[in-house]
Amino acid sequence: MNSNKIFRPADSEDAIAGTGLRHAGAVHANLHAPELIGHAIRREEGALSSGGALMVRTGLHTGRSAQDKFIVDEPSTRDGVWWGSINAALPREAFQRACDYVRGYLEGQELFIQDLYAGADPAHRIRVRLVTTHAWHALFARNMFIRPPTAELAAFVPDFVILHAPDLALDPATHGVRSSTGVILSLEQRLVVIAGTQYAGEIKKSIFTVMNWLLPEQDVMPMHCSANIGPGGEVALFFGLSGTGKTTLSSDAARQLIGDDEHGWSRDGVFNVEGGCYAKVIGLAREAEPEIWDASHRFGTVLENVMAARDGVPDFMDGGLTENTRACYPIDFVANASPDGRGGVPRHVVMLTADAFGVLPPIARLTPAQAVYHFLSGYTARIAGTEKGLGKEPQATFSACFGAPFLPRPPELYGAQLAASLARTPVTCWLVNTGWTGGPYGTGRRIALAQTRALVNAALDGRLDDVPFRVEEHFGLSIPTHVPGVPDTLLDPASTWDDPAAYARAAADLAARFAQNFETFREGCAPEVREAAIRPRAS
């Protein structure tokens, strides 16, 4: 192999055009999966599993480095950014020093470049050029984003560039960052710099942040959700944080999958931002999630931080490296995936929470104002074993719009977009608890996946349209009194507890947490949303 050769499609422009790189050594542009896997094996970046997936490890960082994320403070975007702990400001001068440092490093490395789309709707897509030093990260991006037809690569000009140097440590004193890691976004220069972390999720989430900035200006609502299509063409959205079942519940053999994580909602309908899936696979079992299981055992899939036996068989039960084990694969590895990543205007919006306090009902119908309130709240609960540093008690988590780390604009703006979208067409909204019943984590039991599927399917199929509902007293939620195939007692969380007084105390405590969290958004919300807010009951 000629180390000075640039590998690129015939008649294409220079593979490093638009990146700011002046020269490069060996550059492998737009290689397909088999070639990238071959390079990854050659470079000892990973090994093949017994099923053919590429197994890799990300070292120190097994998840996002939230405190190392920055947006460059630039005049043209300054007034629109939601500044604070989520979007820390980096001065332009510091960013320029970091860019020069990263570019100088990349110019001396073997590089892998991928030209890809973000956005399945051509009217709202962007062109992304990734430059990375790792073949497996190039494969990750190729799996995750939309792969242009070969004929379109010759004229490809990137709208955004990602300079990816996972093995390069930044200098906080010189580059203005917090540590040796930096995930830095310049909206004005349309540039992302990622250094000091091998965790591949930073690549996809940086572009989702970009789309969260761009789409509202196009009257499109960006969403951290999964989406699928029913037999009659009806579209359902599934909002939810990690561990709530967003990917699992949208991967249904009876419905066509649009996408599992990031979407846009325009006046014409829903479209996938991505072209692949990034499924959490800790505890993955074939019986419960056959689509994800099958995709995780295919050549071309990347298994991130998944442990394996000596024979290369993945052990999805082993969280020895991290509970955040992942499988990254093209969406067409899912048999019933939408071929174009698009669907009509949503008919149902499902908001998922894994309530570890055991007080929310397994399903409730929301008014549009309640839906906006719960969207802004973005509630779930974390438990010991899912993250380092958590104690024995559940920890309530509120992540605005079910994706606060990826919001470059204020959450109220996205809440107003949801309200406007719900007002344009008939949409039924649901709150689904995939967490605990009969008591909190450690006392109660987790609601069975089969029961959650039965509840969700009944809602999406219209079988709850004529069922009586009652309003429970703590959260103002409308609960069905009967769902076929599900015990009536499960529907009323209070009745599943042995101690009614203990349930009332736990429910009041969670209601107070909701109320305290909402104070952050109250002033920026419409009156009807403020009226729909949860209020703790007087003792």
Write out pLDDT tens, residues 301-333. 999 999 998 899 999 999 999 999 999 999 999
> What pLDDT was estimated at residue 122?
97
139 and 252 both lie in a single domain: no
Spell out where 32-74 has E strands.
47-48, 54-56, 69-72
For residue 7, pLDDT beyond 80 = no
Q: Is the dihedral of CA 383, 385, 391, 393 positive or negative?
A: positive
Coil, helix or strand at residue 69: strand
Q: End-to-end CA distance of the chain, in Å?
A: 76
363 and 493 share one domain:
yes
**pLDDT tens per residue across span 449-481:** 999 999 999 999 999 999 999 999 999 999 999
User: In this structure, is residue 23 part of a structural domain?
Assistant: yes
Q: Where do the H-state alpha helices sit in 188-267?
A: 201-214, 246-250
Q: Max Cα separation, the chain?
A: 77
- Is 289 annotated as ligand-binding? yes
349, 486: one domain: yes
Task: Flag whether 365 is marked binding.
Answer: no
The mean per-residue pLDDT over the stretch 100-115 comes to: 96
Q: Can you list the alpha helix ranges (DSSP code H) found in 88-234? A: 92-106, 135-144, 150-153, 172-175, 201-214
Q: How far apart are CA 472 and CA 491, in angstroms?
A: 11
Is 199 labelled a binding residue? yes
What is the pLDDT, as a whole number, of residue 25? 80
Note whether 212 and 350 are same-domain residues. Answer: no
pLDDT category of residue 252 using cuts at 50, 70 and 90: confident
What does the pLDDT look like over 213-251, one tens digit per residue? 999 999 999 999 999 999 999 999 999 998 898 988 998
Q: What pLDDT is recorded for position 538?
A: 62
Residue 189 scores a pLDDT above 50:
yes
In a domain, 109, yes or no: yes
Q: Which domain-ending residue is among 218, 249, 280? A: 218
Long-range contacts of 509-513 (CB under 8 A, 24+ apart): 509/357, 510/355, 510/357, 510/359, 510/360, 510/396, 510/474, 511/474, 511/475, 511/535, 511/536, 511/537, 512/536, 513/396, 513/398
Name the nearest CA neighbour of 345 among 237, 239, 248, 225.
Answer: 237
Report if residue 65 sits inside a domain.
Answer: yes
Q: Let me know if residue 523 belongs to a domain.
A: yes
Q: What pLDDT does 104 receive?
A: 96
- My answer on whether 172 and 261 are in the same domain is no
CA distance 33 to 538: 60
- Same domain assignment for residues 244 and 186: no
Confidence check: pLDDT of 539 > 80: no
CATH code, domain carrying 404: 3.90.228.20
Same domain, 423 and 518: yes
4 lies in some domain: no
Instruction: Report pLDDT for 392.
Output: 61
Confidence bin at 394 (pLDDT 50/70/90):
confident
> Is 386 annotated as ligand-binding?
no
Q: Please indicate, yes or no, if residue 307 is contained in any of the structural domains.
A: no
212 and 231: one domain? no
Is 528 one of the annotated binding-site residues? no
> Does any domain span residue 47?
no
Residue 415 shares a structural domain with residue 482: yes
Q: What is the pLDDT of residue 6?
A: 47
Looking at residue 101, its amino acid is Y
pTM, two decimals, is 0.93
pLDDT (0 to 100) of residue 15 = 84
What is the rounded distance in angstroms from the CA atom of residue 366 to the CA atom of residue 429?
Answer: 5
3-class secondary structure, 462:
coil
65: domain range?
A: 12-33+61-218
Where does a domain end: 218, 248, 281? 218
Q: Is 363 annotated as a binding residue?
A: no
Both 24 and 96 in one domain: the answer is: yes
Q: How many helices (H) and strands (E) does the chain have?
A: 14, 31
Q: Is 205 annotated as a binding residue?
A: yes
CATH number for the domain spanning 82: value is 3.40.449.10
448 and 351 inside one domain: yes
Same domain flag for 92 and 227: no
- For residues 153 and 39, what is the distance between their CA atoms, to the nearest angstrom? 22
User: CA geometry: angle at 240 spanning 438 and 68, to 5°?
Assistant: 120
Q: What rounded mean pLDDT belongs to the chain?
A: 93
In the prediction, which pLDDT does 221 show?
Answer: 98
206 contacts 191 by C-beta, under 8 angstroms? no
Answer yes or no: are the C-beta atoms of 403 and 224 closer than 8 Å.
Answer: yes
537: confidence class by pLDDT, cuts 50, 70, 90: confident
Query: Annotated active-site positions, please?
Result: 64, 205, 224, 242, 246-247, 261, 326
**What are the C-alpha distances in Å from 18 to residues 23, 161, 347, 431?**
12, 8, 41, 45
**Domain count of the chain?**
2
Which stretches within 389-437 are classed as H helix?
Answer: 411-424
Residue 337 forms part of a structural domain: no
What is the reported pLDDT for 168? 98
Is 248 annotated as a binding-site member? yes
pLDDT, residue 289, reads: 87
